[in-house]
């Protein structure tokens, strides 16, 4: 994120691939900021992407094709080179870690009409917010916005996220079977993967990353709901991590690990005064042990502990996630299998680990 001055004309040396452009205008004193507006793009090598700042609307707008072409040619003649800031390549590795499953097709499938993602178009979601501490804080930020929203914007269609049912409903089965389907959502995950993604696991992970970025950087309440729904779906599966979708869960844990690692890097990221207006960090409401994330992770860690056979990579990344939450947030979880296996040597473990009981942990790790 940059705080830009009057000579700023854009950014150069952008690596090819997906990116998220987000911005917020400030008053003269830099104390008040407009709501963040963002959009995804997929940059091709040597491509020139043109937007013009609209002073009255305080947003970036597309230009007519002929005018845009003139800027293309001017950029290629290096006429604006001294007014283009270089892409921050030192951040590119981190960006790839939180966006490696997002593709051009992911963006085209999910992005809203007009491509802009902004919380000012989501006022209708405020009343739907559940009453957890974290979600009430998000809704309060929207209610207290000093910027008016036109009826046209507030009724604009949002992103085209996949619908994730919170509760499984099926009239053709018994109550006991229905309860089982809601306790273990493996079958729901399989249905969504086949129906919505054609069985392509990476497309689902791409949507998970799209929603996180739109929520964290674009401050989209709609994106937060979708990210929460997908995380809840994964962590509510009891069978899939050990049978049909082990590799998917390894990739999922990696995605969540890098998302939270990035989101909580307050010391290394929050260094600019401009962050006052457009924070890219998870706020203190995430620190609460009452958050949905703490409950879901606690249940998942217990699931790993009680499993008789656990894939080594799944165990390794689950341990990393648990350690991140404990060291970063100060959360405490009951002793789990991942602690026992790594007690002796964090670098050595079998591809598949068989857990017998708590008394066997020291023998298993020594072996």
Say yes or no to pLDDT of 353 above 80.
Answer: no
Residues constituting the chain: 367
C-alpha closest to that of 156 among 103, 215, 220 = 220
Confidence of residue 364 (pLDDT cuts 50, 70, 90): very low
SS3 content of the chain, % helix, strand, coil (to 5): 50, 10, 40
CA angle 327, 331, 333 (to 5 degrees): 110
* Alpha carbons 215 and 227: distance in angstroms, whole number: 8
Say yes or no to pLDDT of 144 above 70.
Answer: no
* Alpha carbons 119 and 349: distance in angstroms, whole number: 45
Task: Give pLDDT tens digits for 247-277.
Answer: 999 999 999 999 999 988 754 444 443 444 4
- The residue with tokens 């799944």 is 314
Name the residue with higher pLDDT: 343 or 158.
158
Say yes or no to pLDDT of 81 above 90.
Answer: yes
Task: Give mean pLDDT, residues 27-41.
Answer: 83
Task: Give mean pLDDT, residues 289-312.
Answer: 88
Domain spans of the chain, in order of start: 133-141+163-267+287-343
CATH superfamily of 133-141+163-267+287-343: Aar2, C-terminal domain-like (1.25.40.550)
- The residue with tokens 């790839």 is 96
If you ran DSSP here, which 8-state letter would residue 359 be given?
Answer: G
Name the residue with higher pLDDT: 263 or 69.
69
Of 95-109, 170-184, 249-263, 307-321, the one with minimum mean pLDDT is 170-184
Of 179-183, 266-270, 313-317, the one with minimum mean pLDDT is 266-270
| Residue 354 confidence (pLDDT) | 37
* Alpha carbons 49 and 54: distance in angstroms, whole number: 16
CA angle 248, 19, 87 (to 5 degrees): 130
If you ran DSSP here, which 8-state letter would residue 357 be given?
Answer: -
DSSP 244-309: TTHHHHHHHHHHHHHHHHHHT-HHHH--SGGGGTS--S--GGGG-TTSHHHHHHHHHHHHHHH-SE
Token code pair at residue 326: 């404990």
Task: Give mean pLDDT, residues 280-286.
Answer: 57
Token code pair at residue 112: 């809203």
Token code pair at residue 309: 């056979």
| Residue 210 confidence (pLDDT) | 98
C-alpha closest to that of 211 among 295, 94, 120, 99 = 99
Task: Give mean pLDDT, residues 177-183.
Answer: 60
* Alpha carbons 286 and 283: distance in angstroms, whole number: 6
- The residue with tokens 């008040």 is 32
Task: Give mean pLDDT, residues 328-339.
Answer: 69
Say yes or no to pLDDT of 112 above 80.
Answer: yes
Token code pair at residue 95: 């960006």
């Amino acid at each position: 994120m940059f705080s830009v001055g009057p000579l700023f004309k854009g950014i150069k040396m952008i690596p090819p691939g997906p990116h998220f452009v987000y911005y917020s205008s400030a008053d003269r004193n830099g104390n008040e900021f407009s709501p963040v507006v963002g959009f995804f793009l997929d940059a091709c090598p040597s491509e020139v992407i043109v937007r013009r700042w609209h002073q009255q609307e305080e947003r970036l707008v597309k230009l007519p094709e002929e005018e845009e072409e003139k800027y293309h040619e001017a950029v290629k003649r290096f006429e604006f080179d001294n007014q283009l800031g270089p892409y921050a390549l030192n951040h590119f590795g981190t960006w790839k870690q939180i966006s490696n499953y997002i593709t051009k097709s992911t963006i085209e499938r999910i992005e809203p009409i007009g491509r802009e993602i902004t919380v000012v178009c989501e006022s209708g979601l405020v009343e739907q917010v559940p009453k957890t501490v974290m979600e009430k804080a998000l809704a309060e930020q929207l209610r207290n916005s000093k910027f008016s929203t036109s009826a046209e914007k507030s009724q604009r269609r949002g992103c085209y996220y996949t619908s994730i049912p919170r509760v499984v409903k099926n009239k053709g089965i018994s109550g006991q079977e229905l309860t089982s389907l809601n306790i273990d959502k493996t079958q729901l995950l399989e249905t969504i993967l086949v129906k919505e993604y054609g069985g392509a696991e990476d497309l689902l992970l791409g949507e998970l990353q799209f929603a996180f970025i739109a929520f964290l950087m674009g401050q989209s309440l709609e994106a937060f709901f979708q990210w929460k729904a997908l995380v809840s779906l994964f962590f509510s599966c009891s069978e899939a991590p050990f049978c049909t979708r082990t590799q998917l869960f390894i990739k999922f844990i990696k995605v969540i690990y890098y998302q939270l690692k990035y989101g909580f890097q307050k010391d290394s990221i929050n260094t600019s005064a401009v962050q006052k207006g457009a924070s890219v960090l998870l706020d203190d409401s995430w620190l609460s042990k009452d958050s949905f994330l703490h409950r879901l992770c606690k249940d998942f860690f217990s699931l790993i502990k009680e499993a008789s056979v656990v894939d080594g990579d799944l165990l390794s990344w689950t341990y990393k996630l648990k350690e991140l939450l404990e060291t970063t947030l100060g959360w405490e979880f009951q002793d789990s299998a991942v602690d026992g296996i790594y007690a002796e040597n964090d670098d050595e473990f079998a591809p598949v680990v068989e857990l017998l009981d708590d008394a066997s942990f020291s023998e298993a790790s020594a072996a």
